[in-house]
Structure formats: C-alpha cells, structure tokens
Amino acid sequence: MEGATFLWLIRHAPVDGVKGTIHAANAPADLADRAQLEALRLRLPQDAASYASPARRTIETARALGLEPILVDEFGEQDFGDWTGRRHDELAAGGGDAYVQFWSDPAHLRPPGGESFEDQVARVRLGLSRIGAGSATLVVHSGTIRAALCTALDLLPEAALRFVIDPLSLTRIDRLASGWRVVSVNQRVS
C-alpha cells in the first residue's frame, strides 16, 4: 500500500464549560478522564505525523495524549458566526426565525456571520488532501470528523450529519490508491 494514508481521527475531550453552548475556539478541554486519555494514547500509532485544529480544546487534548500537533486551520469546527458563545436553548427561545430556519437545513444554511456544514466539508477536504502518505493522528472536532467521513464515503452533507461522534472517540479512515476505506467510527477506547 505504498502511498497510502492512515488517519486516526480523535474528537477532543469534553469542553470545560456550560453544556449546550456553541463554544468559541478558546474554550478549554476537560481533561479529567485520565484513564480514557491513556487508553486512547496507547491505541495511537508511534511516530505518526500529528495534526490538530487550532482550537484550545484540541491542542490541550493532543498534548494530554503526548502529541505535539501541527495546527491546521482547515480542521477547525464549523463557524457558527454570531451564535458563537451563546446557548442553544437561549437561541431557540429568542433567536428569531433565523435559528429555526437554520435547523431546517443545517447542511446547507449558514448561521448569521458563519458557515454551513457544506462549507466545512469543502474546507476539511482541502486539509485532508494536504496530508501525505503514512500514518497521521488528527485531534479535531465532531463536525470535522463528520466532514472527513462525508469525504471518505462520498456522502451528501446532510447524510454525514447523522454520525454521532463522542468526545475522546476514535474514528479510523484510510486513503488508499483505490479510494477511501472506513475502518471504524466513534469507537470508545478503554
């Protein structure tokens, strides 16, 4: 499989913040689950290239896994624009028609000042194309992993949004000469 790329995609640890919030890039990770972090670290390939979103929570998670990642802007979470930092229940109660309208087609519509999931898929696809052959770990967001699965499986963006991607889960995909292969999705390592 010369030229193949083997990707270990890890969703960051839970955010250390108010649940139900659309967290900003500077939101910290809750790294209290040391046993889960260690079990996950032991499953990762040795001497693999390491990448992460430039968000604080992905960097902190990567470092807790013993990684020193290259930060890749294309691997950032979906930009929710004006809604960043706000709670979903607050937006639903007083966000007006824009919030309701967005959730009628979250794959294609954009929050005010933000991007659609479809935009994120295009961005992540570009980031993936820049990773060379060999093994690589990516500490990223749930939306980033869904976007990578959208690319690997040639899915419509709305279909990729159906994947559940838990904090500290492992998703494995490979880019082979013959195309993409999905090894596992949302695996909890213990």
Tell me if 11 is assigned to some domain.
Answer: yes
pLDDT tens, position by position, 75-121: 999 999 999 999 999 999 986 789 999 999 999 999 999 999 999 99
Question: What's the number of domains the chain is made of?
Answer: 1
pLDDT of residue 186: 98
164 lies in a domain? yes
Q: What is the mean pLDDT of residues 171-189?
A: 96
Within-domain flag for 159: yes
Q: Given this model, what pLDDT does residue 2 score? A: 62
Domain membership flag for residue 99: no
Residue 18 belongs to some domain of the structure: yes
Q: What is the mean pLDDT of the chain?
A: 96
**What residues contact 178, with CB distance under 8 A and at least 6 apart?**
none
Residue 180 three-state SS: strand
Q: pTM of this prediction?
A: 0.96
**Parent domain of 133:** 5-79+116-188
- Note whether residue 86 is domain-resident: no
* Residues 137-176: tens digit of each pLDDT: 999 999 999 999 999 999 999 999 999 999 999 999 999 9
Give pLDDT, residue 95. Answer: 62
Is residue 147 left, alpha or beta, with left meaning phi > 0 and alpha meaning psi from -120 to 50?
alpha
Residue 102 within any structural domain of the chain: no
Q: In whole angstroms, what is the distance from residue 52 CA to residue 58 CA? A: 6
In a domain, 138, yes or no: yes
Q: Give residue-wise pLDDT tens across range 8-40.
A: 999 999 999 999 999 999 999 999 999 999 999
CATH number at residue 156: 3.40.50.1240
pLDDT digits (tens, 9 = 90+) for 52-81: 999 999 999 999 999 999 999 999 999 999
